[in-house]
Structure 1
Amino acid sequence: MSYTIGQLARLSGLPVKTIRFYSDIGVLPERGRTRSGYRLYGDEDRGRLELVRTLREIGVDLATIRSLGERDLGEVLSLHLRTVETQIRALQRTRAVLRATLERDEPTDDDLRRLNALGRLGAAETTALVNAFVDDVAGENAARQEWLGGLRAAMVPELPDEPGIEQLDAWLELTELLADDGFRARLREMSGEFWENADRLDPAAWIEADTLVTRTALDAVRDGVAPGSEAAAPVVAGIVAVLAEAQGCGPEVIVRNYAEHDPRAGRYWELVAVVNGTPWPPESVVAHEWIAAAAASHLG
C-alpha cells in the first residue's frame, strides 16, 4: 500500500516537515511520486520511520541512521552503546569535579582549569597524545620503538567512574607531560648510547643483571645503608660494574646515565599510579633511586 507524506504523517504522528527533512537527507528514501509530484511511501517506510524515531530518541545521530542500509542494526546499536558509555564516564568525571568544587567556600582557577580540561581531553584524545609521544620519543630507533610500544597500554590509565580530585589532577598533569616538547626531547637524549647499541645486547643477560642489582640495592635499603655512607661505596661500585658488563660499556657511562636521568620520567609513572589507585613507589623505583643517590655520592 502507498501513502502520501500527509498520510504517513498522520499514521506516524510525526510532522510532515520532519518526514520531508528525513527524505531530503536520505534517512527515509521516498518510493516514488504521484503524477502531481507528491512523494509516496510504503508500509516498510512506516516501520523504518518508527525505527528512526526510536534511534533519535536514544541519541543516535542522523548520519549513523542513514548508514543503516550499509550496516547491521546490531552494529549501529553497539556503536551507539560505546558512545553513550563514553559520555557517561565523561559526565561522571565532570560531576566529581563539580561536587568537589561546591564543597569548597569559593571556586578557584584550578577548579575551572579541571573543568575546561575535562571538556577537551577524553580517553580517545589521551590515547592519541600517548601515540604521538611514543612515536616522537622513539624516533627511528627500532629497539626503543619496540620497548615503548610495549609500554603504550600502561601509559594510558583509565580514570575511575568516580575519580577524586587527586586522581583528576594527576591525570591532567600526565597529559601536560605528554604534550611537553622539552620532556620528549630530554627522553630522546637519555640513555642514547644504550639504545644505539641495544641490538648488540643480550636481553636475558641484561634482565638478569637488572634483577641482581635491584635485589642488591633493596638489601642495602632494608639494612639501613644510607646512599651517602661509607658502607654504600663498595655496594654501588659493584652494582655499576655489573650493569657496565651487561651493557658492554665503561662504568662512567652507567654513572652518567643515572646522573642525567630526568625526574619527570619517574613522576610520569607516579602519576599513573595515582590515577590507577596503586601503591607507590614499587621496589624497582626504590632500588634505582638508592643506586642513583649512592653513585652521585661516591662515583660522580
Structure 2
Amino acid sequence: MTRPPDTYTIGQLSRLSGLPVKTIRFYSDAGVLPERDRTPAGYRLYGEADVARLELVRTLREIGVGLATIRSLGERDLRQVLDLHLRTVEAQLKSLQRTRAVLRATLERGDPAEEDLRRLNTLGRIGAAERDALMDAFVAEVGGGNRAREQWLTCLRDAMVPELPAEPTIEQLDAWLELVDLLSDDDYRATLRRQSDDFWERREGGFDAEAWRETNDAVTQVVQDAIAEGVAPGTPEAAPVLDRVVALLAGMHGAEDGPALRATLTRGYEEHDPRAERHWHLVAIVNGTPWPPPETTVHHWIAKALGVTVPTL
C-alpha cells in the first residue's frame, strides 16, 4: 500500500519541526496532535497542517498553556485560547504579588510565628475560583430559595468579599481571612436567613433594587442632615426626623406608619446580628475605606431614636 501524498512520518515531522520524536509522540498520545493515518507497518502519519499545528502547540506550551486547553482548540479559536491564558497569567501574577507582600511584611516584623504560616497557607489555598464557590454557597444558603432575597444578595455579591489589593498589608490580609471565615460560618448564614425571612417572604415575587437604593439614599440623607444640625436621637427635635424616616421605610416594607411597623423596625434592630456589622467593617479594612460609613452611622441614629440600645462592637 502506497503512503498517502503530503504526509509525513513522525521522524520526518521531527526533522521539519526540530522537536524530538519522543515529544511529538507524547503530544499525539495526549490528543493535542492527533495522527492522520498509519502505514501498513503501524507507523504514525501526519499531514501538512500538522507541521503548523505542532509549532502552535510548542509555542503555547512554552508560554504555559495547559494540554487540556490546547486540546480544546478544535472547539475554540486561537484568540479565545490566548485570552483565557492571559487571564490565567494575570491571576497568577496577582497571587504572586500578594504572597510577596505578605512574605516581606512577615520578615520585616521579626521572627515568623505560626500565625504567619497560617496566613501564607490560607492565602495560597483561596483564589478567585474558591472565592466564587464561597459566594455561590453563601447566596444559596442565605437566600434559602427565596428569589427576591437571592437577587438582593447577588447584587451585593462582589461587595461582600472584595478582592485583596495586589500588595495587601498584614491588617488587610487578616481582615480578608476573617471575612472568609465569617462567610463560611454556618451559624452566621442561618442567622442572616432567619432574621430576614419575614421581610423577604413578602417579596417572593421579585425585588426592585433601584427603588431599594433610592429609599436607602433618601433615609441616609434625612438622618445625615439631622446629625449635621446636631439633632440627637431621643430628643424632641428627633421626633419629626424619625417620622420622616419611618414614612420612607414604610414604602419599602409595604406597610403604613404606625405601632406595628415601628415595632417591626425596633425588633429588627434589637435582633440584628453584630457579626453583620463586623462583616462590613472587615470589607472597609480590605478596601482601605473609612469606617464607619455614613449608612452605619445613620442606622445607629435610627436605632437609638427607636429606643434600641446599639451594642458596641
Report the TM-score range of the alignment, normalised by the length of the smaller protein.
0.7 to 0.9
Amino acid at match of 2:19: L
1:42 aligns with 2:47: yes
Q: Map of 1:215-254 to 2, 5 A cutoff?
A: 215-224=221-230, 227=233, 234=239, 238=243, 242=247, 245-246=250-251, 247=253, 248=255, 249-254=260-265
**5+ residue gaps in structure 1?**
none
2:279 equivalent among 255, 263, 268: 268
Q: Could you say what secondary structure the match of 2:92 adopts? A: helix
Q: CA deviation at 1:212?
A: 5.7
Task: Label 1:7 to 1:187 Cα distance change in 2 as closer, same or farther (>3 A).
Answer: same
Partner of 1:100: 105
**5+ residue gaps in structure 2?**
1-5
1:78 aligns with 2:78: no
Partner of 2:128: 123
**Percent identity of the aligned residues?**
62
2:34 equivalent among 29, 48, 72: 29
Partner of 2:164: 159
Q: CA deviation at 1:240?
A: 7.4
Partner of 2:140: 135
Q: Could you say what secondary structure the match of 1:71 adopts? A: coil
Q: CA deviation at 1:93?
A: 1.2
Instruction: Tell me, yes or no, if the aligned pair for 1:232 and 1:294 is still in contact at 8 Å.
Output: no
Q: Deviations over 1:62-93 (max 9, x none)?
A: 12112222221111111111111111111111
Amino acid at match of 1:144: R
- Higher mean alpha-carbon deviation, 187-196 vs 170-179, is at 187-196
Q: Could you say what secondary structure the match of 1:280 adopts? A: coil
Mapped partners of 2:226, 2:141: distance in 1: 37
Amino acid at match of 2:223: A
Mapped partners of 2:124, 2:309: distance in 1: 49
Q: CA deviation at 1:296?
A: 4.0
Q: Could you say what secondary structure the match of 1:190 adopts? A: helix
Instruction: Tell me, yes or no, if the aligned pair for 1:240 and 1:255 is still in contact at 8 Å.
Output: no
Mapped partners of 2:29, 2:15: distance in 1: 19
Partner of 1:283: 294
Alignment coverage as a number of residue pairs: 298
Q: Could you say what secondary structure the match of 2:46 adopts? A: strand
Partner of 1:259: 270
Instruction: Tell me, yes or no, if the aligned pair for 2:134 and 2:184 is still in contact at 8 Å.
Output: yes
Partner of 2:94: 89
Mapped partners of 1:142, 1:79: distance in 2: 32
Task: Label 1:22 to 1:192 Cα distance change in 2 as closer, same or farther (>3 A).
Answer: closer
Instruction: Tell me, yes or no, if the aligned pair for 1:236 and 1:291 is still in contact at 8 Å.
Output: no
Amino acid at match of 1:92: Q
Q: Could you say what secondary structure the match of 1:152 adopts? A: helix
Instruction: Tell me, yes or no, if the aligned pair for 2:222 and 2:245 is still in contact at 8 Å.
Output: no
Q: CA deviation at 1:107?
A: 0.9
Partner of 1:54: 59
TM-score when normalising by structure 2: 0.82
TM-score when normalising by structure 1: 0.85
Mapped partners of 1:243, 1:78: distance in 2: 48
Mapped partners of 1:199, 1:182: distance in 2: 24
Mapped partners of 1:196, 1:53: distance in 2: 57
RMSD: 3.1
Mapped partners of 2:23, 2:214: distance in 1: 70
Q: Deviations over 1:255-276 (max 9, x none)?
A: 1111111121122222222222
Q: CA deviation at 1:106?
A: 0.8
Mapped partners of 1:207, 1:75: distance in 2: 37
Q: Deviations over 1:118-169 (max 9, x none)?
A: 1111122112211221121121333322322322232231222222222222
Q: CA deviation at 1:51?
A: 1.2
